[in-house]
């Protein structure tokens, strides 16, 4: 994977996690989140899976996600994450910034003109 | 030891968090790996191959452990200060029980027979160890105290 791809992926992991949880509308555990992101991105978001957890914990720490444990003691228990109100607000801000950034970059790089042509 | 246990051990070595947080983090990592293994076995892999594949997909244990530690380390700043300071305070308490203010030993054989000495000595080790899960601080201060105590007892000319 090229350096620019790595940087793009790092910079966008937060917003894609928030978007996924907002779209799904149900609490999801880390394993589900990773599989969904891989599936939705056609493999572009192919993570070292363990490195997603520090990001999830950071988002929880910032109050953008909340978590709870699912499952009874003695069975397989999973920690699930759900969006908070602050998370929804942050997602809206991030999407807005992303639209402006991508629009500006597309203009600067002439990508839209090429596609239109 | 399976690939999974080795990986979990590599992660845990990097963690120095309060006990509850560390247990929760490790339980979450284990749940993820078990799920990955179960999926691989359901897809037809042998157990050994499933373990190996799950570990490879999960990533390097040291890097993950360090990232988790960096994420959580700021959460219990006050606790970390207490965990670091308490063994030092208790070690000073031990010093005052064993030595006069000028640093001379005040009959250490008698002091060792005092229950109060052992209560403080054990507290210096056990409280940080079990309450805060900061065993490095506890063992370091404990070891330092005993090293200084032995040196001063054997060579009274050393005053501390």
Q: What is the average pLDDT score of chain B?
A: 78
Instruction: Kindly state the tokens that stand for A83.
Output: 């969006």
Chain A hits for B14, Cβ within 8 Å: none
Q: Among A90-99, B132-141, B150-159, which stretch is predicted with the lowest mean pLDDT?
A: B132-141
Mean pLDDT within B35-62? 92
Q: Does the beta-carbon distance from A50 to B24 stay under 8 Å?
A: no
Pair A15, A94: CB distance under 8 Å = yes
Could you give the count of Cα atoms lying within 13 Å of B99 in the half-sphere of its Cβ?
20
If you measure CA to CA, which chain A residue comes closest to B38? A76
Mean pLDDT within A93-101? 91
Instruction: Kindly state the tokens that stand for A49.
Output: 């899976």
**What is the pLDDT at residue A69?**
92
Give the 3-state secondary structure of chain A. Answer: CCHHHHHHHHHHHHHHHHHHHHHHCCCEEHHHHHHHHHHHCCCCCCCCHHHHHHHHHHHHHCCCEEEEEECCCCCCCEEEEEECHHHHHHHHHHHHHHHHHHHHHHHHHCHHHHHHC
Max Cα–Cα distance, chain B, nearest Å: 74
The per-residue pLDDT for range A65-90, each reduced to its tens digit, is 999 999 877 777 899 999 999 999 99
More confident residue, B32 or A8: B32
Mean pLDDT within B31-41? 93
* A14 confidence band (pLDDT: 50, 70, 90): confident
- Please name the residue ranges forming H helices in B43-134: 47-58, 61-72, 77-98, 108-112, 115-127
Res A43 pLDDT > 60: yes
**What is the pLDDT at residue B19?**
81
Tell me how many degrees the CA angle B65-B84-A67 measures, rounded to the nearest 5.
40
Q: Does the beta-carbon distance from B28 to A61 stay under 8 Å?
A: no
Q: Among A106-110, B33-37, B105-109, which stretch is predicted with the lowest mean pLDDT?
A: B105-109
C-alpha A95, offset from chain centre: 11
The per-residue pLDDT for range B52-103, each reduced to its tens digit, is 899 999 999 999 999 999 888 764 566 667 766 776 777 777 777 766 666 6
Q: Is B35 on the interface with A (CB under 8 A)?
A: yes
A90-98: list long-range contacts, CB under 8 Å, 24+ apart.
Answer: A90/A18, A90/A62, A90/A64, A91/A15, A91/A18, A91/A19, A91/A22, A94/A14, A94/A15, A94/A18, A95/A15, A95/A19, A98/A12, A98/A15
Percent of chain B with pLDDT over 70: 70
Helix (H, G, I), strand (E, B) or coil at B105: strand
Q: Round to whole Å and give the CA distance between A104 and A102.
A: 5
The per-residue pLDDT for range B3-18, each reduced to its tens digit, is 788 999 999 999 988 7
Tell me how many degrees the CA angle A62-B14-B134 measures, rounded to the nearest 5.
85
Q: Round to whole Å and give the CA distance between B50 and B57.
A: 11
What are the distances in angstroms from CA B84 to CA B87, B104, B137?
Answer: 6, 27, 6
List A residues 46-75 in contact with B (Cβ-Cβ < 8 A): 47-51, 53-54, 57-58, 61
**What is the pLDDT at residue B146?**
75
What letter would DSSP give residue B99?
A: B
More confident residue, B119 or A33: A33
**What is the pLDDT at residue A117?**
47
Q: What is the average pLDDT score of chain A?
A: 85
Percent of chain A with pLDDT over 90: 52
At residue A82, φ and ψ (nearest 5 deg) are: -135, 160
Could you give the count of Cα atoms lying within 13 Å of B122 in the half-sphere of its Cβ?
6
Mean pLDDT within A24-51? 87
Q: Does the beta-carbon distance from B71 to A76 stay under 8 Å?
A: no
Res A4 pLDDT > 80: no
* B126 confidence band (pLDDT: 50, 70, 90): confident
């Amino acid at each position: 994977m090229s350096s620019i791809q790595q940087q793009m992926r790092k910079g966008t992991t937060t917003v894609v996690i928030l978007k996924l949880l907002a779209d799904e509308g149900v609490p999801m555990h880390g394993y589900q989140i990773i599989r969904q992101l891989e599936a939705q991105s056609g493999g572009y978001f192919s993570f070292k899976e363990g490195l997603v957890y520090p990001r999830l914990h950071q988002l929880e720490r910032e109050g953008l996600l909340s978590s709870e444990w699912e499952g009874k003691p003695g069975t397989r228990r999973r920690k699930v994450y759900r969006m908070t109100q602050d998370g929804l607000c942050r997602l809206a801000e991030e999407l807005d910034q992303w639209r402006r950034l991508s629009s500006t970059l597309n203009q600067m790089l002439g990508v839209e003109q090429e596609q239109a042509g | 030891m399976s690939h999974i246990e080795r990986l979990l051990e590599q992660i845990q070595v990097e963690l120095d968090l309060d006990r509850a947080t560390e247990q929760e983090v490790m339980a979450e990592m284990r749940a993820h790996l078990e799920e990955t293994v179960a999926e691989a076995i359901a897809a037809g892999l042998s157990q050994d191959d499933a373990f190996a594949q799950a570990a490879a997909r999960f990533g390097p244990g040291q890097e993950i452990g360090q990232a988790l530690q960096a994420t959580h380390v700021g959460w219990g700043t006050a606790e970390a200060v207490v965990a670091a300071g308490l063994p030092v305070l208790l070690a000073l308490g031990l010093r005052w029980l064993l030595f006069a203010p000028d640093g001379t030993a005040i009959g250490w054989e008698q002091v060792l027979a005092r229950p109060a000495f052992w209560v403080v000595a054990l507290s210096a080790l056990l409280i940080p160890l079990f309450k805060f899960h900061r065993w490095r601080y506890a063992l370091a201060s404990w070891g330092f105290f005993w090293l200084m105590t032995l040196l001063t007892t054997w060579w009274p000319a050393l005053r501390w």
